[in-house]
Chain A
Amino acid sequence: MTPSSDRDGSAATSAPAQPPLIEVRNLVKHFGPVVALAGVSLTVRAGEVHCLVGDNGAGKSTLIKTLSGVYRPTGGDFLFEGKPVSFSSPREALDLGIATVFQDLAMIPLLSITRNFFMGREPVKNRLGPFSFMDMALADRIVHEDMRRIGIDVRDPQQPVGTLSGGERQCVAIARAVHFGAKVLILDEPTSALGVAQTSMVLKFVRQVRGKGLGLIFITHNVRHAYAVGDRFTVLNRGKTLGTFAKSEIGLDQLQTMMAGDKELQELSAELGGTV
């Protein structure tokens, strides 16, 4: 039931000729005496959705914050496109093409969609002294078109993001990352707060983004959502990887069991008819 980790996912996706977008080996992160990551290994290739599943406290957040440049790893290797990297800020990761969409702080609700979309990368029309004027018309048009392409009709790009639904907000955040040339997109629980229709909207968009050849890391503790879009699955437990599995190697139930990890939880889950 617990196959030893075939972390290279040899049976998995296409053309392993080119180096994976992201490869981490035995990543360790300590916060003082607390060991948040105790040797995590993971590879993400272009054109795949790599799901990172694990219960609360498994180290998912620490891992993605390390990948996105918020934390510096205490030990282990971190390679981007085959080359070792070390980030001192999220901006550096972003410049290389690792974009992270955090579940709650992706957007500022009071600001307009356009202002959010171009936050930090405003299109500049002309300059006057120290001030660069934003090309608001161009920005509005880009937002309108990008949103339309994913099936969201934004009536007015100047409306506050707060007026969008949760799913639409996630889609705006993802579209923003894609627009600015992300190669790897880290999605932190994009569906955790969403209803069914909203979730399917986001999952559909995730597939569409994968089709463009981006590598996606999809973090969730909802195995169903993971299984719906994932190509490979890495299970985290207590700061360690339990293994990486291609979709063909593992069933939904197995994945669920492995994620639950703890014996008692598994029994409870079985009692409740596997609905947890």
Chain B
Amino acid sequence: MAESSGAETTTPVSAAAYDERLIRQSRLRKFLGRPDFGALSGLILVFVFFGVTARGTGMFAADGVLNWLTVSGYLMIIAVGAALLMIGGEFDLSLGSMIGFSGMMIALPTITFHVPVTLSVLLAFAVALTIGFLNGLIVVRTHLPSFIVTLASLYILRGLMLALSILFTNRTIVGGVKEAADGAVVGFVFSGTIGDSLFAWLADHDVIGRLPNGAPSVRGVPMLIVWAVAIALVGHIVLTKTKAGNWIFASGGDAYAARSVGVPVARVKIALFMLTAFCACVFAACQVMEFGSAASDRGLLKEFEAIIAAVIGGCLLTGGYGSVIGACCGALIYGVVQQGIEFMQVPNDWFRVFLGGMLLIAVLFNNLIRRRIMSAR
């Protein structure tokens, strides 16, 4: 930039003079202006806080880490979907009900109709994707706020799930899936562990502790975490590096402007609703395989937790701005704080107070960032 300043006409001279001042400022702004800046610093803060206060509690021993990673991992799976949908300009309040419903869709056929569990899982995914598709279709066709449309699905799915489980089993908890899934590939895919030999080796070398029965304190990396990381990674790459990602930003930023330059906004939004449904179904499959049962209260309030993670991660409620990495940090903060409070034996109620406060701070912070971007110059 500097070499050309003298060579050309009149304008670049003044531009170059401005540059020297602006470059430094824009670098700072770039750092502060990352959508996930708040969540990243929040995460560091939380780690430092519990690193100091929860030192002797075993929170950062292998099994302690697994404990909060599991909580975070579950949330991460749905937070990524919710974040991408929010960046695309919509909400899905039926996410939590979808978790419960999908879980029942796995357990009911398996237990009452003796359908092979693999088939039940595939069926659950097919049904979930169809419902996601319908959610999306209604939103883009009617132009109603997705808030209302998915609020309706929230009740429909929760009610349907209860009604079906009462109808077929006369109870609200359907158990025995673990036994049915024993040895099946889906059992491993959703609730197995990988890297078992590594953890055995670590236990042999006293890097991690052992349970009283002599097994390593952590058996391996649960598939749940593998799913969470995989979904997050794919989500992040798609959002930032691909054409589809640009379309997601554009659809959420200004659907009308996007449509007028040829972005298939309707298709993008429907695909995103299907993605959240997919994420909810992965969540449900992991949960059902882990607990061995589906129950009527599964996934309760998860839609809000996913939205909280996305917002803490820097997603704007109005769409068009946000990051998957931020949402993952939001999910990690959630898990670390929830379990950290448990480890420190502080009454659990304080966690909600913290979560609400954190959400408020995040929203205010995001608003500030947006104002700075919109009003700069």
Contact = CB atoms under 8 A, between A and B. Distances in A.
Interface of A: 90-91, 94, 100, 102, 105-111, 115, 118-122, 124, 130-134, 136, 151, 153, 155-156, 159-160, 162-165
A270 to B, nearest CB: 39
Contact of A133 (B242, B261, B370, B373): B242
A119 B33 CA distance: 21
A221 B12 CA distance: 33
Contacts of B213: none
B4 to A, nearest CB: 9
A155 B23 contact: yes
A111 B243 contact: no
Given A120-B247, A133-B243, A160-B33, 4 more contacts: A108-B258, A110-B320, A119-B263, A165-B377
A121 B253 contact: no
B19 A110 contact: no
6 pairs of A and B residues whose beta carbons are closest in the complex: A108-B253, A120-B262, A120-B261, A105-B257, A163-B376, A122-B243
B261 A119 contact: yes
Given A110-B321, A134-B246, A90 B260 contact: yes
A132 B243 contact: yes
A136 B241 contact: yes
Given A153-B1, A160-B373, A134 B26 contact: no
Nearest to B9: A151
Given A118-B246, A153-B12, A156-B26, A109 B241 contact: no
B249 interface: yes
B244 interface: yes
19 contacts: A102-B257, A105-B257, A106-B257, A108-B254, A110-B373, A115-B246, A121-B261, A121-B262, A124-B243, A130-B244, A131-B243, A134-B242, A156-B26, A156-B30, A159-B26, A160-B373, A162-B376, A163-B376, A163-B377
B163 interface: no
B68 to A, nearest CB: 32
A119 B250 contact: yes
Nearest to A153: B15
B244 A132 contact: yes
A120 B267 CA distance: 13
Nearest to B27: A156
Contact of A91 (B245, B249, B262): B262
Nearest to A107: B257
Contacts of A133: 241-243
Contacts of A111: 249-250, 253, 320
B374 interface: yes
A164 B261 CA distance: 20
Contacts of B258: 108, 119-120
B32 interface: no
Interface string B233-276: 00000100111111101100110111111110000000000000
B197 interface: no
A175 to B, nearest CB: 14
A111 B251 CA distance: 11
A131 B238 contact: yes
Given A105-B257, A133-B241, A164 B377 contact: yes
Contacts of A90: 259-260
Contacts of B246: 115, 118-119, 122, 134
A121 B261 CA distance: 8
Interface string B355-375: 000000000000000100111
Contact of B320 (A91, A108, A151): A108
A103 B48 CA distance: 49
Contacts of B22: 155
Contacts of A118: 246
Contact of B241 (A107, A120, A134, A165): A134
Contacts of B260: 90, 100, 102, 105
A154 to B, nearest CB: 10
A163 B261 contact: no
B11 interface: yes
Interface in B1-39: 1, 11-12, 15, 19, 22-23, 26, 30, 33
B374 A131 contact: no
A132 B23 contact: no
A7 B260 CA distance: 30
A102 B246 CA distance: 21
Contacts of B249: 108, 111, 115
Nearest to B264: A120
A134 B241 CA distance: 6
Given A115-B250, A118-B246, A134-B246, A108 B257 contact: yes
A256 to B, nearest CB: 32
A110 B243 contact: no
A153 B19 contact: yes
A124 B15 CA distance: 32
